[in-house]
Structure 1
Amino acid sequence: MTDTPVITKMKVIPVAGFDSMLMTLSGCHAPAFTRNLVVLEDNAGHQGVGEIHGGDYTCDCLNAVRPLVEGQPVSKYRQILQKIHRIGNPATEDDGEGIQTLDISKLKFVVKSEWAIECAMMDLMGQFLGVPMCDLLGEGQQRKEVEMLGYLFYVSDKKKVPVGDMQYLDESNSLDPWFRLRREEILTPERIVEEAEAVSEKYGFKNFKLKGGVLSGSDEMDACRALKKRFPDARINIDPNGAWSLKEAIELCRDMHDVITYMEDPCGPEAGYSSREIMREFKNATRFQVATNMIATDWRQFYHTVSQNACDIILADPHFWGFDGAVRMSQLLESWGLTWGVHSNNHFDITLAAFAQVGAAAVGTPAPLDTHWIWQDGQNLLYDTPKIVNGKLQVPDAPGLGVHLNMDRVMEANRLYKSLPSHDRDDAKSMQYLIPGWKYDHKKPCLVR
């Protein structure tokens, strides 16, 4: 297809959006999160778009490869990615550890900036061919809607931020019950249930995931029990990001089979043993299925994970694996009798559209996909944001990614980005408002000190 349109321009636009005071093992989300957009234009008048991890490092990586993209036919998107991969070298501070201990400073090395370019190029290719992006992946479109889960978080009290520092978004006057609730303090089982009720009412979620690593393990299990009591038919799972010791994880989970469907990264490295060895011991002791987005974030890590039978569900975020890689992973897992799913970080609706496409192309029966979008909903950068209806993300019925940028909203998000004192994620800073002198410890829940 030598006569396919040619990419005439590549723009990298860093953007920011507002967040809640969400709690995780790594600390507390800041009032704003950052992302990078890739916008491609071709000589047929089409625009392709992709979204990826925020921060200056990722932005610089994207800008550095612009000469490899501009002037190239859209049909050569695979060769363009090959060239980018060949010239890429690990950053000097990248020790290869990845996020096995949820060190957020290393997330930028796990996320590959070029996947935003892949997304934007496949968006253009789909528009040229008149087919949705999912038809260009794997075996093509498998479904028209993708099951999602309600991603629940503990939320701290934004009123503890002192006057003069950047404040968290206040939606107390919103007419939407969920928009009001998501900016309030949520730290008890009763409030977690209220959170689940609100997102179930708005988005129709049937299944829920609780982000753990915040309170004691027993307190978080109480929240899971409360969720199961309120939603007896729901699949409930919890992700403490490896905060628990092996002994504690076994004690907490052994008798929870009637509550929890599977465990996500319950424990991590300890006593000289790797996360993979520890997770295999957890599986042996509890007979739980285990999911991960921490110990299998590239093909080499995946090999060691499956060779030790450490996990059953691989959460193959396309921003870790690439779109082609994520769907290839689904094919491999399906043939091996394992399960595919997707993990997420804070994101705009461009990533939501991308999740729709990759979820539509994944083979087999995926686990319900993660999305943070419910925490950012309303900050749309698209004219035609995909909808979550009855707990399922609707796949756009249009060529390519199937969505269109609202450039006025994009530039507004860019202005917010430029106003921030730092563009890198730092979950420790906001924790200082709650616990002065707080320091990250991957074996201690963030509010347990």
Structure 2
Amino acid sequence: MSGGIRITGADITPVAFRDPALLNAVGVHEPYALRAIVEVRTDQGITGLGETYADGGHLRRLRAAVEVITGMDVHTLGGMHRRISEALNGGIGAGGHGLTGSATGSGAADRVFAPFEVACLDIQGKAAGLPVSDLLGGAVRECVPFGAHLFYKRAGHPGREPDEWGAALDPDGIVAQARRMTEDYGFGAITLKGGVMPPEEEVEAVRALHKAFPGIPLRLDPNAAWTVETSVRVARELDGVLEYLADPTPGQRGMAEVARRAPMPLASTMCVAAFDELSSAVARESVRIVLADHHSWGGLQRSLLLAGICRTFGLGLSLHSDSHLGVGLAAMTHLAAATPDLAYACGTRWPWKSEEVVVPGALAFADGAVRVPTAPGLGVELDRDALARLHEQYVTRGLREPDGTGRIRRIDPSYERRSPRR
């Protein structure tokens, strides 16, 4: 096989990092977010990095996958995906879904393969002296634009001191949150995570953002919390205000009905989250914008394949992210840099994060964008002390399966999760 760089093993290190009391359609974030750092080792002494989810089922599959890819050349990515797929069909690492708290049909093989693919591209880039964006066809932009991701939130987790962001439970709080993010990071687009308050209150919050930040594109994402009729009503009330409305209602059929009646385009990271969901979404005209996440679409090269399909069918494309660390941001930045048809600023939850595993300096936000690293590979290096500290935090805090609904019910026993709701 070409390349002559063979995998000798991989380390999977789950970590926990502090997360504020952010509210969403299924409850509230746990005090810690979970990620796993993947380090692929080779016979040439070059190590590659990947980042992924860290719920229990996904970790079991990742560790089982290491066994089937050990010995493979880092350039044989197609064969690696096939081998992982075959092993999963054989039952390795059964249980769990890799996307804790999300309703998605994305394939387990793509989710397991993604961090290994990123790590192998990191190795390829280091060996060739090229940034990962060059391996993806070359950067078409030097800087990648990102948007602010706002949340309704409590002042702090129960029993703990208020965090530095404070509460945001009304339009004034949301606007104050947005003002700080735009001032600190220069974001030129804003997404509000909805599905938390009554829809009319979220409409009021978006209108307040529109008044406070004229000319800045606004998005609303209620995580499929609403009925079709509620979704249509909100869409019409925000005509001329929203750039797009993301996942207002569950499922492709419901989304298609809203899309026919809404004045703005619909986007999705939920009803179109895997390749086998694309054809039906196109046929039903369920969405006009796909919010892709390379962690669930099978890595960077398969995300570029998705971009080509979107181009073919006239769909817009942007990149979505959950809570992530620097390895994930670096991979996302290289992907966005090499994606010509990136029509919208990417999503990020970076400002909510106060802990990190990469050495500072390689990634920074300026004017709402991240400059694409030009060093070989991903261009980031692990901070070993920080990695060890966040792994110890994972071990001692005992959080293994984040449950936003269960947590908010412990805080408020009367909480009732209803989806979709009016």
Same fold (TM over 0.5): yes
Structure 1 segment 71-220 matched on structure 2, within 5 A: 71-89=71-89, 102-103=102-103, 112-137=111-136, 139-158=137-156, 161-162=158-159, 167=160, 171=163, 180-181=164-165, 184-220=166-202
Question: Which runs of 5 or more residues in structure 2 are unaligned?
Answer: none
Deviates more, 1:402-411 or 1:330-339: 330-339
SS in 1 for 2:197: coil
Q: Is the aligned partner of 1:234 residue 2:234?
A: no
CA shift in 2, pair 1:380/1:421, >3 Å:
closer
Cα contact 2:148–2:182 (8 A) shared by 1 = yes
1:224-246 deviation digits (Å, cap 9, x = unpaired): 00111111110001000111111
Task: Tell me the TM-score normalised to structure 1 length.
Answer: 0.87
**C-alpha distance in 2, partners of 1:4/1:387?**
34
Structure 1 segment 20-99 matched on structure 2, within 5 A: 20-89=20-89
Cα contact 2:88–2:109 (8 A) shared by 1 = no
SS in 1 for 2:75: helix
Q: Structure 2: which amino acid aligns with 1:128?
A: A
1:199-253 deviation digits (Å, cap 9, x = unpaired): 1111100110000010011100111001111111100010001111111111222
**C-alpha distance in 2, partners of 1:222/1:75?**
51
Cα contact 1:48–1:120 (8 A) shared by 2 = yes
**C-alpha distance in 2, partners of 1:317/1:334?**
17
Q: Could you say which residue in structure 2 is the equivalent of 1:397?
A: 374
**Matching residue within 394, 404, 408 for 1:427:** 404
**C-alpha distance in 1, partners of 2:150/2:102?**
19
**C-alpha distance in 1, partners of 2:56/2:95?**
15
Q: Structure 2: which amino acid aligns with 1:415?
A: E
CA shift in 2, pair 1:267/1:3, >3 Å:
closer
Offset at residue 439 of structure 1 (A) = 4.2
**C-alpha distance in 1, partners of 2:115/2:345?**
23
Aligned-residue CA RMSD (Å)? 2.4
Q: Could you say which residue in structure 2 is the equivalent of 1:365?
A: 342
1:96-138 deviation digits (Å, cap 9, x = unpaired): xx99x9449x89959712211111111001111121112222x
Q: Could you say which residue in structure 2 is the equivalent of 1:13?
A: 13
Q: Could you say which residue in structure 2 is the equivalent of 1:290?
A: 266
**C-alpha distance in 1, partners of 2:282/2:306?**
12
CA shift in 2, pair 1:108/1:283, >3 Å:
closer
Cα contact 2:18–2:354 (8 A) shared by 1 = no
**Matching residue within 287, 294, 319 for 2:295:** 319
SS in 2 for 1:40: strand
**C-alpha distance in 1, partners of 2:63/2:224?**
35
Question: Which runs of 5 or more residues in structure 1 are unaligned?
Answer: 172-179, 269-274
SS in 2 for 1:402: coil
- Number of equivalent positions: 418
Structure 1 segments of 4+ aligned residues over 4 angstroms from their partners: 90-95, 101-104, 106-111
SS in 2 for 1:195: helix
**Matching residue within 243, 254, 257 for 1:278:** 254
Deviates more, 1:380-389 or 1:324-333: 380-389
Offset at residue 335 of structure 1 (A) = 3.0
Task: Tell me the TM-score normalised to structure 2 length.
Answer: 0.92
